[in-house]
Amino acid sequence: MMRAVLIALAASIATPAIAQTPSDEAITKIALPKEQLTGMLADAVFKDRSMAIHAFLLGIEPTCKVYAIAADKSVAKHLPLWNANVLRAYRQIVPAETLAKAAAEGPTGRNRLAEYMPQIGAVMEQSSGGLLKQSATEVLREIGSAAAGVNPAKVDQKARIAELQEQIAKTGKLCGVIDAADNIAKSESLN
C-alpha cells in the first residue's frame, strides 16, 4: 500500500503541470483590444492632414461631436475582427504557460508580457493594419461629409486657431482623446 502511494506521489511530481489555456475573456482583460483600437484609431485620424482641415472648417466642438459618433460606430463595427486578431496574436506569440500566468493575474498581468509586445505589435500590424486604415477612413469620411458644406472663405481663421488653442489649454487634448500640441502647428500652417 505504501509503495503504491509513493509511486503515485513520484509520478505526480515528475509530470509537469499542463498550463491551463486562458479564456478569451481573460486575455481580453490584459490585452484591452477595445481601448487599443480606440486609441490607435484616434491617433490615425488626428494625425491625418485632412482631419486638421476638416476641424478647421467645422470648428472644434462640431468636429469633436462628429468624431465621437463616427469613432464609436467604427469601433463597434471593427472590434470583433480586431479582438479576434488580438487573441490570435497573443496565443501565437506568448508561450501558453506565460500567457496563463499573466491572464490569472488580471489586468496587471500585462506587465509580465512586456518582452512579447514588439512581436505582438508586429503580428497585429500585419493582421490588422488594413482594418485600422479602413476604420480611420470611415471616420474621416464622416467628418469630411460634415465639413463639405462649409465655405472656407467664410471661416474666421484667427478665431479657429484661438478656439483650438483654448481647448488645448483647458484639456491638453483634442476632442478629449489625443494629445494635441502638434495639431496647433498643423492648423497654423493652413493660414
DSSP track, the chain: -HHHHHHHHHHHHHSPPPPPPPPHHHHHHHH-HHHHHHHHHHHHHHTSHHHHHHHHHH-HHHHHHHHHHHHHHHHHHHHHHHHHHHHHHHHHHS-HHHHHHHHHHGGGGGGGGGGGHHHHHHHHHHHHHHHHHHHHHHHHHHHHHHHTT--GGG--HHHHHHHHHHHHHHHSEETTTEE-HHHHHHHHTT-
Which amino acid, 9?
Answer: L
> How many other CB atoms are there within 10 angstroms of residue 126's CB atom?
11
Specify the pLDDT at position 84. 97
Specify the pLDDT at position 173. 81
Q: What is the mean pLDDT of residues 175-183?
A: 68
Is the pLDDT at 7 greater than 70? The verdict is no
pLDDT tens-digit series, residues 38-61: 999 999 999 999 998 999 999 999
Global pTM reads 0.81
Specify the pLDDT at position 44. 95
Is the pLDDT at 5 greater than 50? The verdict is no
